[in-house]
Chains A and B, each alone.
Chain A
Amino acid sequence: MHYRELGRTGLKVSVLSFGGSSLGGAFRETDDSESIRTVHTALDLGLNFIDVSPYYGATRAETVLGKALKDIRRDRYFLATKVGQYGHGEFDFSAARVTRSLDESCARMGVDYVDVLHCHDIEFADLNQIVDETLPALVKLREAGRIGHIGITGLPLKIFKAVIDRAPEGSVEAILSFCHYELNDSSLESLLPYFKSKHIGVINASPTGMGVLTERGAPSWHPAPKPIIDGCRRAVDYCKAIGADIVKLAVQYSISHPEIATTLIGTASSENIRKNVRFAEEPIDFELMARVLEILRPIHNHNFTRGRPENRDPIVA
């Protein structure tokens, strides 16, 4: 496993990290004992960064993670969770709520400290509130030593600059982006020089675009429009026909960018963790990658967006 610095946080994180959304049953029905084994496998294989949220599985993911971490030394992993999103369409980014939220998350996970606390999916929030109220509350928690670092997450790319440009320097130290650095969409790249200039660490999630680049395909709730789903399907079918694993290619693609510190892998299966770690270590078939990128070219950087109207990205189609 390779490790990279997460911005200026001082956290040296594994290029593959553990995405805890899967523990809440986001992608399929999960079995908690298998989930716990998966966390242990991830740590044993050198993944040292775990990402979760009270939103995943309506607190279930944090609770299961708490069980998994019970007998694990706290210095074996970095832990990130989130505040502000609690149920479907249920958001509260007030200072009081996010402060209480950290206490609840820590209690569920049996820890007294998290390394990174993110404002979760801020495209659904009033960004003025994030800048004027939520981030100052998190800065207080950081000053009090309750959290190590502060991050923001969301799907539209425009939210990051919108907040970072207005927040006091150093308040935001990391961002978590998803579905924008994968074989069919590398639009996150356009922001990497900006993040670098601000010393902000970059966390990427969903190397398979939340399932579009897998043989199983996108789950029913997937927000991508049909042309993206179909375009990705062509790449999946191509790989399948020649006996190649598109997930391997997708993981290798996402983790190879030197300016992206880590990529979250969401799975609740030990076998999948092992497989992903193997993918990360195996040589890349660049000829195949060139062919697959060519197949995906008609939909490259095509996107979907969400959030309050003012926080949405322009649609590329």
Chain B
Amino acid sequence: MALGPSPANPTLDSHQHFWRYSAEDYGWIDEPMARIRRDFLPEDLQPNLAAAGLAGCVAVQARQTLGESRWLVELARAHPFIRGVVGWVPLAQPQAREELERLRSDSIFKGVRHVVQGEADGFLDHAAFNAGIKEVAACGLTYDVLIFSRQLSESLRFIDRHPAQTFVLDHIAKPRVSGAPDPEWRRLIREFARRERTFCKFSGVVTEVPGWQWTPELLRPYFEVVLEAFGPRRLMFGSDWPVCLVASEYLAWVEFVRDCSAALTPEEQSWIFGRTASTAYRL
């Protein structure tokens, strides 16, 4: 039985972004985040992966354009350490199926995501968007759920409508990370995890700490909640690089998650650091 990392079983960062920065396209990067107001390209990520002993990554959309989805596919083709791409298509529009088919004609394209955290409450009940998710399922792609914790209950209704779809919950649903985990968030995370075709990314947590002042003691209980709910085979490490840089160096975040996982068996650790992502995204 292969326990540790191996070429067939690479260690992975399940969630990061690339961009060529412009103030126009990345208006959400405000003054306090000035540190990430620049280009972030594969050559910037690669040394971080190497230093952390990770073999590859999954690149995730940030901009909601088809152009970006195609660009991520091109980057992945030029840089083999990018093992998969999660892009964006206009799921609520009638051309959703055609665009999904076009993108997935390159097998590096693994899934889609919409920035639901930026939408009104009730967005996940939107009929045209749900019709688009049926097309995602029909294409055999995953869907990354990017929400704030207040949207968890509508996300449960949403997931229940699509039993054939694989869902990946991004950033543990972005709870406000201050003090002990909110019992309501914990309850809804457990509810989410009861759905079998769901996975969860432990990523994007440092930036949910008000003021970005985090300590391992503050974050560890959040890891415990998602580990208990999803188990190592449905939980994946992600960095959310370069967004994480406003609150943490790349390596510090990787080491923190490794510390959290230290008490697990080597096999369980191998799931969190790669095999879960390989399974969820069919890498």
Contacts and interface: CB of A to CB of B under 8 A. Distances in A.
Do they bind each other? yes
Interface stretch (A126-134, A145-153, A264-272, A293-301): A293-301
Interface in A213-268: 252-253, 256-259
A256 B126 contact: yes
Contacts of A289: 127-128, 130-131, 134
Contacts of A253: 127-128
B131 A286 contact: yes
A294 B94 CA distance: 6
Most B-side CB within 10 Å, residue of A258, A284, A290, A294: A290
Contacts of B92: 186, 189
B97 interface: yes
B20 to A, nearest CB: 25
B196 interface: no
A252 B129 CA distance: 12
A90 interface: no
A293 B128 contact: yes
Contacts of A169: none
A75 interface: no
Interface stretch (B117-125, B181-189, B226-234, B250-258): B117-125
A290 B97 contact: yes
Contacts, number: 58
Interface string A279-317: 000011011011001101100100000000000000000
Most B-side CB within 10 Å, residue of A256, A259, A283: A256
A290 B125 contact: no
Given A258-B120, A296-B94, A286 B126 contact: no
Q: Is the interface of A mostly helix, strand, loop or mixed?
A: helix
Contacts of B121: 258
A284 B120 contact: no
A186 B128 contact: yes
A253 B122 CA distance: 13
A215 to B, nearest CB: 20
Contacts of A257: 126-128
Most B-side CB within 10 Å, residue of A4, A189, A196, A258: A258
Contacts of B267: none
Interface in B62-113: 92-95, 97
A290 B122 contact: no
Contacts of B208: none
B134 A286 contact: yes
Contacts of A258: 119-123, 125-126
Contacts of A4: 122
Interface string A6-20: 000000000000000
A297 B130 contact: no
Nearest to A181: B128
Nearest to B121: A258
Given A286-B161, A300-B94, A293 B123 contact: no
A286 B129 CA distance: 9
A210 B135 CA distance: 29
Contacts of B135: 290
B132 interface: yes
B133 interface: yes
Contacts of B125: 256, 258
B129 to A, nearest CB: 8
Nearest to B130: A286
A296 B123 CA distance: 23
A4 B121 CA distance: 11
A41 to B, nearest CB: 25
Contacts of A293: 94, 128, 131
A263 to B, nearest CB: 12
A286 to B, nearest CB: 5
Interface string A176-219: 00000000001001000000100000000000000000000000
Nearest to A253: B127
B77 to A, nearest CB: 30
A186 B93 CA distance: 9
Contacts of A290: 97, 131-132, 134-135, 138
A289 B127 CA distance: 8
8 contacts: A4-B122, A256-B127, A258-B122, A258-B125, A284-B130, A286-B162, A294-B97, A297-B94
The 7 closest A-B pairs by CB, nearest first: A258-B122, A256-B127, A289-B131, A297-B94, A290-B131, A258-B120, A286-B130
Interface of B: 92-95, 97, 119-123, 125-128, 130-135, 138, 161-162
Interface of A: 4, 186, 189, 196, 252-253, 256-259, 283-284, 286-287, 289-290, 293-294, 296-297, 300
Given A289-B128, A294-B97, 5 more contacts: A186-B128, A253-B128, A258-B119, A258-B120, A294-B94
